Amino acid sequence: MSNKNLPLLILLGISGLIFPPAFAAVIQFDSEEAQVIIFHPGAEHGSPRDISTFTGISTFSELSVRTVDYRFINKRESFFDGSGKRKFKVLIMGGGEGHNWFRQALGDPGLSCTGVKNIMNFIESGGSVIAICICGSTLFASEMEWLNPNEKEAQMGLWDRKHSHPGHFKRLCGVSAFKGLVRGPQETNRPYPKKLFLPIRMNLENEIVRGANLPAIIPQIVVGSGSLFPEKDQPLDIIGWYPNGTIAMGIVPYGAGRVILSNPHPNQTGVDAARSREEAISGKHARKWGWTDEMMKEMSKIIQENPVPSRQQERDSWNLARAMLLYAYRKAFQ
């Protein structure tokens, strides 16, 4: 690693340091070509922590990185040159509220079906996508089950409500990469946005896990916490499982490329991830999802009983996130 990167690494906090909530406000949407592209849907419906941490991991790995918005995704020339060659290797789509990323929900701007087609063509041509949280998984899945009320129902206290429908790309644009179901949140993480560290059991035979010499268990921060249920004919290279045995993370082949579906957030680590638990169940975000003062109080007690990972476990989680990125880059390069 060259010394010229050190000031930026200190700023980004590559090993779980605190990222200010205002980080999204200073993200630059420049025109420089990069090897890694991170989609930023906006602070209201996205996850600035996923953007900042993967920016730091990319920089540490000496991969050029650029953050983009809807305008980039909706243009084919952002992905391919005039000869049809891909312009970059890896697209990262962090967590957030994916159902609010589309023009059909937001009006203009927002993801268009042309943008969705660009993403799918990028993967088909050999590109790699890393999709974080249940948000990322439900973009690419053919079906989803949301074991939680929607915002309006939650505000009315209708906590027994559940929803099933096609994944977001499938529902709005008729395409999917993962033939299967994403179901969440986990029972431990209901109601949304309950956020906890869960011990994810790693698949020691998986190339990402094996190549990085990762341990059998890595505690990771989880919120929407979807489980992956592939159809019989859907290949899925499992990366890890939840404590209940359902699939938490996996690699989906699509055309010549692949999508890494990671429902946990291995990139969010340490003190910053711990702080995000409190932020998730306090203030306007929790209120938007119907949480009462009593619920927030009860969740605060649960958080106190949910230990923060050790420094070694924090490094393991960060190393997993970096191994995912390097795998995605290496496979796209081939």
Amino acid at 144: M
Position 32 confidence tier, pLDDT thresholds 50, 70, 90 = low
CB atoms under 10 Å from CB of 67, counted, come to: 21
294-332: per-residue pLDDT in tens? 999 999 899 889 989 999 999 999 999 999 999 999 999
Domains of the chain: 3-333 (3.40.50.880)
Instruction: Convert the pLDDT of each residue in 47-105 to its tens digit.
Output: 888 999 999 999 999 999 999 999 999 999 999 999 999 999 999 999 888 888 887 66
Q: Where does the pLDDT of residue 169 fall: very low under 50, low under 70, confident under 90, or very high at 90 and above? A: very high
Predicted structure pTM score: 0.89
Distances (CA, A) of 42 to 51, 131, 323: 11, 16, 26
Q: What is the pLDDT of residue 82?
A: 93
CB atoms inside a 10 Å sphere around CB 233 = 7
Q: What is the identity of the amino acid at 66?
A: R
